[in-house]
Structure 1
Amino acid sequence: MHGASPSFSRLLHAIKRFARSQAPILIQGETGSGKELVARALHYFGPRRNGPFIPVNCSSLPDSLFENELFGHARGAFTDAKEPSRGLVSQAAEGTLFLDEVDGLQPRAQASLLRFLQEKRYRQLGGDQYIEGRCSILAATNHDLEQMSRDGLFRPDLLYRLDAVTLKVPALRERPEDISLIARTFLRNLCDQYGQPPKAFHPATLHWMEQQPWPGNVRQLENYIHREFLLSERPIIKLDPAEDPALPQMIPCAQLPPRFERWSFNEMRDALVQDFERKYLHRLMQATNGNVSKAARLANKERRCLGKLLKKYEIDREQFVPERSPLDSDRTWSG
């Protein structure tokens, strides 16, 4: 975590203040804004810093598997349960369980989590003993849970349990004065990672970065810098948007649509984020020739989550798979 802006300084102050909280903490922020980094900071500033930090992506857990993943199962709990299994709550004992994308929980999973938060204990699948949950709970979302609650998509009683303390992570566009520091830090780390001599950004490039809205926030900035680092052969990285056709597409929501003032802030933000996600996924599929596993690694997302996003925007990977020549087909020899 890097920054010196007032909004970032307030966030750091809040992290140190609430790190010792015994109540669950809800971390709100846009995609790529650094919610997991905030969660890790809360863990390492808190009294359970010597325990494990266990992250779980809630949107990747089907309703039917949630209890098994979180609480584990006893031997013989179901057909294939030949051995007992510890759940994530047990693995996070004396540490922190981080529930990322908690808005992705389905109704049954929401009920199970609520019961655990209320009772602070759980039973494994097929078990008859209650087990005390000895871990701190952090949750994160990039959605408006209050609106989801009003829409009947998120249990209000679970929301009240999770947001005893709420931390809001500012979007990168809300702290442009931090962009140069973050960019230089990423570049220095990449030079160390690849064993290359130090590189630097031209001042005009840093200024250009500070003017961009970065809808994908810090994650998008990091991926962009990684790309430019790999493409640049000079010690000073200087970008010329007029000469780089990729730049206007890199940030697809720099232009607001006509009559944007008729939209609420949340409606406009959601529309721009969806536009960015759709274009990002399309270019990602182009770059990987429709290879979802490779695309997931490049995007730093779980394959299941990326698949759900592709389905959400009706993007068919098959249309990006190059046609194979008959000469490229496998030959089977017999004899």
Structure 2
Amino acid sequence: MGAADFLLPPLRRSEVLPRIMRQAQVTCRGNALVQKLKQDIGLKQIIGDSAVFLDKVLCVPRFARCDATVLISGESGTGKELFARAIHYLSPRAGRPFVPVNCGALPENLAESELFGHKRGAFTGAACDQAGLIREAEGGTLFLDEIDCLTPQAQVKLLRLLQDGEYRSVGSQQTLHANIRVVAATNADFSYMVREGKFREDLFYRLNVLSLTLPPLRERRGDILLLAHDFLEKHAAITDRQPKKLSLAALNRLLSYSWPGNVRELQNVLTRAIVLSDRDSVEPSNLDLPDNFAAEEQSFQAMKSRAVQRFEHDFLATVLHAHDGNITRA
């Protein structure tokens, strides 16, 4: 693949640091092959070029061409709704509504009404007819986030909708027909929920026709710099200011953290860092990370070695993935 730069011993900090940061900026722009691939399939807005993440990105246009139900799994903050939207907007239904629903936020006694609609007088407080979110999504995609929170009664009605394309509003005897695609998402262990009787097994199989499991950020640490750079640039564009840079020490701290909240947590940490930083760069002291994560002071040489190792590992994995594992072509 060739060398991008070289140094002769003895290594001096003044020579090493600029080269590492310059290489990091190249990484932020991403591998050209990966960027072209994303542009070709209409997914340039999805940030990340690690091999484990690209496998998921490549599924999106394939899933979009098919009208089957999709179940997206992954920890909170991994980008499940982003992928659901990408599937919708690359599909033949792109011109019709994309209706997101957080099932966990639906009151238990109103979940059926919100989804399937209701007739006037169907229950106390039903002063007028309501079409429901399924009707709102007609012709498009209904995205059911936290599907594991759906009530047992709503699960039964959703099963019939997926099987026959039919449903009834609460309090109505009229059978309605729906032309929608359902994409569902969860951060729960469905195997456990089905085994414990907390989720219908037949509904799970109806939802799980096409499945996509998104990796947590700790399994694609090579994308942290890309995500951070993208967020800093977007924030600067919104505030009409020059984007702040990440110092090497700050980058090393980001790379060392496990990110239980994934991309959403990274964005929140960087937002606070931008507010707290009075300089042109983000320093470790600006990163509001848990106290129990911390911390040992590391030498410049150790930080440099860690950053370079992560970059080399992820770069090589990405190039090999782009060439289907063929070392000669890579």
| TM norm. shorter chain > 0.5 | yes
C-alpha displacement of 1:133: 1.1
In structure 2, the residue matched to 1:18 is: 63
In the alignment, the residues of structure 1 paired with residue 111 and residue 161 of structure 2 have an alpha-carbon distance, to the nearest angstrom, of: 12
In the alignment, the residues of structure 2 paired with residue 113 and residue 251 of structure 1 have an alpha-carbon distance, to the nearest angstrom, of: 43
Q: 1:251 to 1:139 in 2, by over 3 A?
A: farther
C-alpha displacement of 1:75: 3.1
Does the Cα contact within 8 Å between 1:76 and 1:83 map onto a contact in 2?
yes
120, 124, 128: which one aligns with 2:165: 120
* Counterpart secondary structure, 1:247: coil
C-alpha displacement of 1:240: 4.3
Give unpaired runs (5+ residues) of structure 1.
253-335
78, 81, 86: which one aligns with 1:41: 86
Establish whether residue 207 from structure 1 lines up as the match of residue 256 from structure 2.
no
Deviations along 1:59-117, one digit per CA (max 9) or x if unpaired, are 12233212210111223434533332110001011111000001112222222221221
- The letter of the residue matching 1:193 is I
Establish whether residue 71 from structure 1 lines up as the match of residue 113 from structure 2.
no
In structure 1, the residue matched to 2:289 is: 247
C-alpha displacement of 1:250: 7.7
In the alignment, the residues of structure 1 paired with residue 278 and residue 153 of structure 2 have an alpha-carbon distance, to the nearest angstrom, of: 53
- The letter of the residue matching 1:140 is A
Greater Rg over alpha carbons, structure: 2
Give unpaired runs (5+ residues) of structure 2.
1-45, 295-330
C-alpha displacement of 1:126: 2.4
C-alpha displacement of 1:31: 0.9
In structure 2, the residue matched to 1:31 is: 76
Establish whether residue 159 from structure 1 lines up as the match of residue 204 from structure 2.
yes
Deviations along 1:189-247, one digit per CA (max 9) or x if unpaired, are 11122232221111332232122210110000010000101111111112149xx7x43
In the alignment, the residues of structure 2 paired with residue 79 and residue 213 of structure 1 have an alpha-carbon distance, to the nearest angstrom, of: 48
In the alignment, the residues of structure 2 paired with residue 79 and residue 186 of structure 1 have an alpha-carbon distance, to the nearest angstrom, of: 47
43, 49, 52: which one aligns with 1:7: 52
Does the Cα contact within 8 Å between 2:166 and 2:178 map onto a contact in 1?
yes
C-alpha displacement of 1:159: 0.6
In structure 2, the residue matched to 1:176 is: 221
Deviations along 1:14-46, one digit per CA (max 9) or x if unpaired, are 111111222210000001111111111111111
In the alignment, the residues of structure 1 paired with residue 285 and residue 115 of structure 2 have an alpha-carbon distance, to the nearest angstrom, of: 49
Does the Cα contact within 8 Å between 2:228 and 2:267 map onto a contact in 1?
yes
269, 282, 292: which one aligns with 1:237: 282
Deviations along 1:120-175, one digit per CA (max 9) or x if unpaired, are 11111222321111111000000110111111111111111110111011110111
In structure 2, the residue matched to 1:133 is: 178
Does the Cα contact within 8 Å between 2:112 and 2:153 map onto a contact in 1?
no
Q: Which has the higher contact order (CA 8 A, sep 6+)?
A: 2
Does the Cα contact within 8 Å between 2:235 and 2:243 map onto a contact in 1?
no
Q: 1:124 to 1:76 in 2, by over 3 A?
A: same
* Counterpart secondary structure, 2:59: helix
- The letter of the residue matching 1:231 is L
What is the aligned length?
249
* Counterpart secondary structure, 1:192: helix
Does the Cα contact within 8 Å between 1:63 and 1:108 map onto a contact in 2?
no
Q: 1:182 to 1:250 in 2, by over 3 A?
A: farther
Two-structure CA RMSD over aligned residues (Å): 1.8
* Counterpart secondary structure, 1:98: strand
In structure 2, the residue matched to 1:218 is: 263
